[in-house]
């Protein structure tokens, strides 16, 4: 089982865009690998359309998408063709065909309830090819794509400003759109913090980031909150 902080394993995969070598194909970029239980299934179809609709937003964050299941590449090709013909959404990202389950086994994605289905999971990988987040979902629950946009934006802001991100950022209930200052490493540093930052106490200090950083993340949240009529 892979864990956060590990390098994404090297592998050669067959996709609807042809053979790719991971993670080198996305070197210098973020990428999100998401697995789905099976082609031609209702929840997975809604997810593929949702990812496709937000693909340009991911690209603006230097982030690429790649899908995966234990279906064959031929099955994927027919399914994405069906989606475009019947839903009107073109799937502009590759999908890994893994009928032997080799890739899925490496990533720990074979479903415990069925060896013929892939777990509904997400790996977020940074430009250094390090796994930054891993998420698993049940068969019956589709994913919130906007949350992945928020997460990538938050990772990028946290890295840029050497900070942690609070719950619901940029709309946190305590610090608003501010970011959290990392904890001090000495008593001396702790004593200085309340003079350097806004603090509720020396162990909970926060600081402002440029408005445009929080605004970009807020747009993702606002779109996620909209319910189609």
Spell out the residues 6+ positions from residue 186 whose beta carbon is closer than 8 angstroms to its own: none
Sheet of strand 30-35: strand arrangement: 18-22, 11-15, 95-97, 63-69, 30-35, 120-125, 131-137
| Catalytic status, residue 44 | yes
Paired residues of 201 in beta bridges: 204
C-alpha to C-alpha distance for 154 and 210, rounded to whole angstroms: 13
Instruction: Please list, in sequence order, all residues whose beta carbon lies within 8 angstroms of the beta carbon of residue 157, skipping any fewer than 6 positions away.
Output: 163, 165, 179, 209, 213, 217
Q: Which residues pair with 12 in a beta bridge?
A: 21
Per the residue annotation, which of 22, 32, 43, 44 is the catalytic one? 44
The catalytic residues are: 44
């Amino acid at each position: 089982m892979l864990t956060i902080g590990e390098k994404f394993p090297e592998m050669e995969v067959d996709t609807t865009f042809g053979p790719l070598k991971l993670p080198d194909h996305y070197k210098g970029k973020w990428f999100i690998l998401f697995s789905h239980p099976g082609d031609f299934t209702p929840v997975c179809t809604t997810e593929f359309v949702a990812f496709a609709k937000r693909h340009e937003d991911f690209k603006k964050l230097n982030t690429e998408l790649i899908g995966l299941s234990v279906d064959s590449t031929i099955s994927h090709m027919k399914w994405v063709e069906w989606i475009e013909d019947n839903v009107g959404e073109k799937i502009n990202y590759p999908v890994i065909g893994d009928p032997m389950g080799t890739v899925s086994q490496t990533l720990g994605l074979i479903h415990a309830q069925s060896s013929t289905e892939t777990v509904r999971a997400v790996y977020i990988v940074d430009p250094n090819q390090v796994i930054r987040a891993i998420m698993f979902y049940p068969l019956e629950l589709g994913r919130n794509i906007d949350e992945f946009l928020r997460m990538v934006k938050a990772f990028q802001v946290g890295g840029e400003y050497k900070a942690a991100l609070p719950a619901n950022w940029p709309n946190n209930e305590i610090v608003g759109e501010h970011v959290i200052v990392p904890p001090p490493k000495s008593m001396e540093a702790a004593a200085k913090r309340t003079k350097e930052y806004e603090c509720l106490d020396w162990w909970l200090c926060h600081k402002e980031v440029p408005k445009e950083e929080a605004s970009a993340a807020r747009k993702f949240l606002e779109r996620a909150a909209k319910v189609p009529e």
